[in-house]
Chain A
Amino acid sequence: MKRSERAALWFVLPSVFLVGLFSIYPILESARLSFYRMILMLPWLGEKFVGLENYRDLATDPVALDSLAVTLVFVGVSAALEVLAGLGMALLLNESFRARGLVRAAVLVPWAIPTVVSSQMWRYLFNDRYGLFNFLLFGRATERYLAPLADARLAPAAIVFADVWKTSSFAALIILAGLQTIPDELYEAAAVDGATAWQKFRRVTLPLLKPALLLALLFRTIDAFKVFDLVFVMTQGGPADATNVLQFYGYKKIFAEGMIGYGSAISVGVFCFSLVLSFFYIRLIVARVLEKGTAR
């Protein structure tokens, strides 16, 4: 039908244009720039074509490789913890009790806080002289106080903790939605069959919750790759690059040092990671979205 096809075109065009300009084109441009050597803020110095040199440097740069390791560990640990914490909160919110609205609102609060604010807040809480964290651990024994953000072993943990705190409510929401689709009759049937609470959880809840858990895990993994605010505010990638996640490393290279050629190689690498993840996400979601719906 030509008529409606043209109308559809007009409706979609603005978004196509903007997404194309600010998301699709930059990916291609990043790929292109990664074959050059140039300084971002000094365009008059020109650009020098260097082929795969940037990638070779990237593959041998210990800082970059460390950054990759830091990122992967961070993503794996925080996504897992967020889904676990989210599962716990979702299970609680699935019960009916009088204060449930209050608890749900409370769970949303960390999500509502700007990440930058959350970062500063955790800096205050992790402060080595008067932070609440130290007080709760050591009380008045100030000589034993830790400086988590200045400690190469504790800083990553601190970032993970801050990220989990802020985002586990998002995982909780997704898992809660999944919990609510499990029909009560299944639990009743299990009860009639003599199942204990734990058995009900293992044999009814978990299997039916798998799609939601998977989705939450996928979401959190994708988002964990994007962590930047926490690192920028809390540790600036340190101490000694212990929290130098890829996104921050790329930012430093491109915007602090101006090395957009090399930084673009990092961009491309990060993009490839997210592409793999989005492939799994697409398979999970799109089939469901497009097969449903009442539009003809």
Chain B
Amino acid sequence: MKKALLPFAIAVVLVYSLLPFLWFVLASWKSPAQLTAIPPEIVPAFHWGFYRSALTTYGLPGYIRNSVIVATATTVVSVAIGTLAAYALTRFHFAWLRFYLVVLLCVSMFPQIAVAGPVWRILDALGWLNSYQGIVVAYISFSLPLAIWILATFFKELPYEIEEAALIDGCSRPQALRRVVLPLAAPGIFTAAILVFIYAWNEFFFALIVLTSPALQTLPVGIALFPGEYTMPWGELAAASTIATLPLIALTLFFQRRIIGGLSAGAVKG
């Protein structure tokens, strides 16, 4: 019985997972008439007008550029700081470090509204509202728990004896880090980088409140605030969404093993 159900279950899961977004993506290539047709036409007319329009009139390139800058800067700094912190947390066992890990976990669970007002005021006081550095610094802080969590799980897997062997073999601690620990932690660092990048690329709440001018806004803000009150430019929106999402989907599919490993790491693994 199970054998017969299997293809059915597979079909259901595939349709459920893929159909909505596929439908949206197809819309980006439909002709304007096809967009609003009833019954809906499945095969698009491969009309590229929406893409052209999205890229020229709706400021998409700017949003993409801002997202790339913000996400990349966040990832690089967050992973660097996180690696140091995770290394210390797993190598030096002191009571206050455990406490810190607990605090990190708690902090990552606050809904954004719990801190939004004061964060806005801090950035305002620094003169960093509506700036790259303001949003990046905020993102770094918010992504650190995630980065440290994933990196700590990977560092835990590295037997300490290998570092001790390096110390005996003649390395100073920084040398041991460089020659032995980092190469072995590289997969973990890479996974953490991917997940932080995805977080920063997708983040909306703080981008919305911090980045107020279109020149600096990231993709999520651009897509959420897509102009149109009575008639939505669905074609352009679908095109913009497709452009915004395809890199992420490619990233996710390419590195799905790492991502799945990173997400479930430490959580359930015995």
A 199-215 to B, binary, CB cutoff 8 A, 1 in contact else 0: 00000000000011001
Report whether B113 and A251 are in contact in the complex, using a CB–CB cutoff of 8 Å: yes
Q: How far is the CB of B265 from chain A (nearest CB, A)?
A: 9
- Say how far B216's CB is from chain A's closest CB, in angstroms: 17
Task: Judge whether B170 is part of the interface by a CB distance below 8 angstroms.
Answer: no
B241 to chain A, nearest CB (A): 4
**Residue contact A105 to B253, C-beta cutoff 8 Å:** yes
Most buried by A among B35, B173, B260: B260
Q: Given A121-B21, A132-B23 in contact, is the A226-B112 Cβ separation under 8 Å?
A: yes
Contact A226 B118 (CB under 8 A): no
Residues in A8-46 with C-beta less than 8 Å from chain B = 8, 11-12, 14-16, 18-19, 21-27, 29-30, 33, 40
Contacts A173-B263, A247-B111, A292-B156; A115 near B204 (Cβ below 8 A)? yes
CB–CB A18/B267 < 8 A: no
B115 in contact with A26 (CB, 8 Å): yes
B118 touches A274 (CB 8 A): no
Stretch in A76-84, A151-159, A280-288 touching the partner: A280-288
Q: Which of A116-150 contact B (CB under 8 A)?
A: 116-125, 129-130, 132, 135, 139-140, 142
Contacts of B122 in A (CB 8 A): 21-22, 25-26
Q: Cβ of A264 < 8 Å from any Cβ of B?
A: yes
Task: Check A114–B202 contact: CB distance below 8 A.
Answer: yes
Bound-state Cα–Cα, A100 to B231, Å: 41
Q: Are A130 and B38 in contact (CB under 8 A)?
A: yes
- Mark contacts of A284-296 with chain B using CB atoms, 8 A cut-off: 1 yes-contact digit, 0 otherwise: 0110111011111
- Decide: A113 and B93 in contact? CB cutoff 8 A: no
Contact with A along B56-76 (1 / 0, CB 8 A): 000000000000000000000
Separation in Å of the A117 CB from the closest CB of chain B? 4
| Stretch of B46-54, B95-103, B182-190 at the chain-chain interface | B95-103
The answer, yes or no, to whether B215 is at the interface (CB within 8 Å) is no
Cβ of B166 within 8 Å of any chain A Cβ, yes or no, is no
Which of chain B's residues 1-59 have a Cβ closer than 8 Å to chain A? 1-2, 6, 9-10, 13-14, 16-18, 20-21, 23-24, 27, 35-40
B264 within 8 A of A: yes
Contact A112 B248 (CB under 8 A): yes
A160 in contact (CB, < 8 A) = no
Does B116 sit at the interface, judged by CB under 8 A?
yes
A82 and B73 CA atoms in complex are apart in Å by 33
Instruction: Collect the chain B residues with CB atoms within 8 Å of residue A129's CB.
Output: 36, 38
Decide if A187 is an interface residue (CB 8 Å cutoff): no
Q: A19-B145, A23-B110 are in contact. Are A267 and B253 (CB under 8 A)?
A: no
A69 cross-chain contacts in B, Cβ below 8 A: none
B232 contacts the other chain (CB 8 A): yes
Which residues 84-117 in A have Cβ within 8 Å of B in the complex? Answer: 88-89, 92, 95, 97, 99, 102-117
Cα-based distance from A4 to B97 in the complex (angstroms): 13
A278 neighbours in B (Cβ, 8 Å): 105-106, 109
- From B84, B111, B142, B221, contact of A12 by CB (8 A): B84
B interface: dominant SS? helix
> What count of chain B residues pass the 8 Å CB interface test?
110
Count of interface residues, chain A, beta-carbon cutoff 8 Å? 109
- Kindly identify which residue among B85, B116, B141, B264 contacts A177, using a CB–CB cutoff of 8 Å: B264
Q: Across the interface, which residues of A come within 8 angstroms of B24, CB to CB?
A: 120-121, 124-125
B176 CB-CB contact with A under 8 Å? no
**Chain B residues whose C-beta falls within 8 Å of the C-beta of A233 in the assembled complex:** 224
User: Which residues of chain B are near A22, meaning CB under 8 Å?
Assistant: 115, 119, 122, 137-138, 141-142
With A15-B144, A92-B13, A114-B219 in contact, do A26 and B88 touch (Cβ < 8 Å)? no
Contact mask for chain A residues 160-179; partner B; CB cutoff 8 A; 1 contact, 0 none: 00000100011001101110
Q: Is A228 an interface residue (CB 8 A)?
A: yes
Contact of A112 among B138, B158, B198, B205 (CB under 8 A): B198
**Chain B residues in 8 Å Cβ range of A264:** 117
Q: Is the CB of B114 within 8 A of A19?
A: no
Question: How close is A215's CB to chain B, nearest CB, in angstroms?
Answer: 6
Complex CA–CA separation, A266 to B114 (angstroms) = 8
Q: How far is the CB of A129 from chain B (nearest CB, A)?
A: 7
By CB atoms of chain B within 10 A, which of A21, A26, A30, A129 has the most?
A26
From A18, A232, A271, A277, B81 is in contact (CB under 8 Å) with A18
Q: Judging by beta carbons under 8 Å apart, are B156 and A293 in contact?
A: yes
Known: A109-B252, A293-B156. A30 touches B232 (CB 8 A): no
A282 contacts B100, CB within 8 Å? no
Q: Flag if A115 contacts B202 (CB, 8 Å).
A: yes
**Minimum distance in angstroms from A170 CB to a CB of chain B:** 7
Cβ 8 A contact of A117, one of B116, B160, B223 = B223
Complex interface bits, B110-143 against A, C-beta within 8 A gives 1, otherwise 0: 1111111111111000000000000001101110
Q: Which 10 A-B pairs have the closest CB atoms?
A: A11-B88, A22-B141, A26-B115, A26-B118, A293-B156, A29-B118, A177-B264, A250-B113, A112-B252, A8-B92
